[in-house]
Amino acid sequence: MNLNAIDPLLLSRKEAPRPGKADKESKVSFQQLLNDLVPKNLDGKISSETFSRTPRREKILEHVGGSPERKKMLEAARQFENFFLEKMFREMRKNMGKNDILHGGSAEDIFQDMLLTERVNTMTQTSSLGLAEQIYTEMQRAQK
């Protein structure tokens, strides 16, 4: 039994071209479709934040203000982001093999764990991933 093979019964049937969908008979070029879909005011310095539904960190901190309830929500979101990142990186590190020649034993394992914790804390504090902001935004939307 080949586990890497794909069962042909699970594959979808070939779809017929839908109206409005680009197909081989379409008179509109791919470049024209892109030009119609992409906003005209884009420049090379634009980032994905422009299209994101999640506000930037500064706006979230402004929204939190002095509200103790919102501060707790943001802190919970940051703690979850911290937990998630640490768990993800630990699992990634498990899959990396150890070099028996250069491995420093249990002292290196302890150091690597501490280093990972500090890296994750720095990532969470600097908001480089933005997961906490997305969680906080969704919690605010769900509350309304």
Per the domain annotation, does 114 fall within a domain? yes
Task: Going residue by residue through the chain, which has 144 residues, state the pLDDT in tens, using 9 for 90 and above.
Answer: 444 444 445 445 554 445 555 556 667 777 777 777 776 766 655 555 555 666 777 888 888 888 889 899 999 999 999 999 999 988 988 887 777 666 777 888 888 889 999 999 888 888 767 888 888 888 888 886
Domain count, the chain: 1
Per-residue b or e along 83-100, where b marks 16 or more CB atoms closer than 10 Å to that residue's CB:
ebbbeeeeeeeeeeeeee
- CA 103, 109, 111: angle at the middle one, nearest 5? 110
Per the domain annotation, does 13 fall within a domain? no
Tell me which amino acid residue 118 is. Answer: E
Q: Give which of 77, 49, 89, 68 is closest to 139, Cα–Cα.
A: 77
| pTM for the whole structure | 0.57
Determine the structural domain holding residue 80 and report its residue range.
57-143
**Are 71 and 61 in contact, with CB atoms under 8 Å apart?**
no
Per the domain annotation, does 98 fall within a domain? yes
Q: What three-state secondary structure class fits 92?
A: helix
Per the domain annotation, does 14 fall within a domain? no
